[in-house]
Amino acid sequence: MARQKIVAGNWKMNKNMEEGLSLASEVIHMAVDELPSSQGVSLVLNPPFLHLSAVRKLIPAGKGIYLGAQNCHHKPSGAFTGEVSAEMLKSLPVDFTIIGHSERREYFGETNALVAEKLNLLLEKGIRPIFCCGEALPIREADTHLAYVAQQSTESLFHLTAEQLKQVVIAYEPIWAIGTGKTATSAQAQEMHAHLRAHLAGKYGVEVASEISILYGGSCNPANAQELFACADVDGGLIGGASLKSRDFIEIAKSFPNK
């Protein structure tokens, strides 16, 4: 089975409502006009929480364009002022939700165990998690990155059944490449993606592992996407900065080879 090709735009804390709606509508129009469904690329727009409901209304059905949130809380409901639950996201509905982004891990102290709790709630609601993992520069320099990222996935994913795992999208995002303009080389990305897939295969079998989409994230742009997406185990991208420009985002989505 061919793996799902996905390009997800993580807007982070950017764009006010008006700007966000015009970005979303530009992306949607370009996607409908320029990305034939025969190419089989799924786009996911991940605006801030506040914009989700309005962006939902702009997304046409059946065009391979999906809505995602950037986070959710790890408890189902209750006295957590300012937080947003998986249940609330489901009620829009959103299709995907990013969890375990390195910025959440760094600035909000999120751990692998906490990310696992979020993952469980999302899966319970039928929302597909985009699970982020990736190493900081000192870990890569110490040459322990493969084991470190495998450990992140073990601690957050390995309690899942095979059927649950198939709902998960993995995004490998080396922290040293995020927002820095310093992209991983295609060889570095392929090495990690293949390692992650082999790690999943060790637990769930080769067949299940071969169905999981693994995205690359970290300064991906229209100039480097083609080389990255040509790698055997790179199934698309999680795009930050370049997702804020409609033309760049669409050009990235057009960067898949016919593989």
Q: How far apart are CA 104 and CA 111, in angstroms?
A: 9
CB of 61 to ligand PGA, least distance (A): 26
Nearest to 156 by CA among 94, 220, 101: 101
Site string for ligand PGA, 130-169 (x = CB under 6 A): ----------------------------------------
Nearer to ligand PGA, 115 or 178 (CB): 178
CB of 239 to ligand PGA, least distance (A): 5
C-alpha dihedral (175, 71, 113, 82), degrees to nearest 10: 120
Strands (E), the chain: 5-10, 41-46, 65-69, 96-99, 128-133, 169-172, 214-217, 236-239
Pick from 44, 214, 240, 249 the residue near ligand PGA by CB under 6 A: 240
Nearer to ligand PGA, 231 or 252 (CB): 252
Q: How far apart are CA 143 and CA 151, in angstroms?
A: 14
Q: How far apart are CA 208 and CA 200, in angstroms?
A: 8
* 219 sits near ligand PGA (criterion: CB under 6 A): yes
Question: Can 159 be counted among the known catalytic residues?
Answer: no
* 9 sits near ligand PGA (criterion: CB under 6 A): no
Nearest to 247 by CA among 223, 231, 229: 223
Nearer to ligand PGA, 95 or 173 (CB): 173
Pick from 10, 97, 190, 224 the residue near ligand PGA by CB under 6 A: 10
Question: Can 101 be counted among the known catalytic residues?
Answer: yes
Q: Which residue, chain included where needed, has tokens 């760094």? A: 106
* 251 sits near ligand PGA (criterion: CB under 6 A): no
Show the tokens assigned to 56: 């939902």
- Out of 173, 193, 195, 199, pick the active-site residue: 173
* 220 sits near ligand PGA (criterion: CB under 6 A): yes
Pick from 64, 68, 218, 236 the residue near ligand PGA by CB under 6 A: 218
* 68 sits near ligand PGA (criterion: CB under 6 A): no
Q: By CB under 6 A, what part of segment 198-217 binds ligand PGA? A: 217
Q: How far apart are CA 113 and CA 151, in angstroms?
A: 11
* Helix H or strand E encompassing 94: none
Show the tokens assigned to 120: 């469980």
* 238 sits near ligand PGA (criterion: CB under 6 A): yes
Number of residues that bind ligand PGA (CB under 6 A): 13
At residue 2, φ and ψ (nearest 5 deg) are -70, 140
In this structure, is the dihedral angle defined by the CA atoms of residues 11, 112, 214 and 145, taken in order, positive or negative? positive
Residue facing ligand PGA at closest CB distance: 240
- Out of 101, 193, 195, 199, pick the active-site residue: 101
- Residues in the site for ligand PGA, rule: CB under 6 A? 10, 173, 178-179, 217-220, 238-242
User: Which residues are known to be catalytic?
Assistant: 101, 173
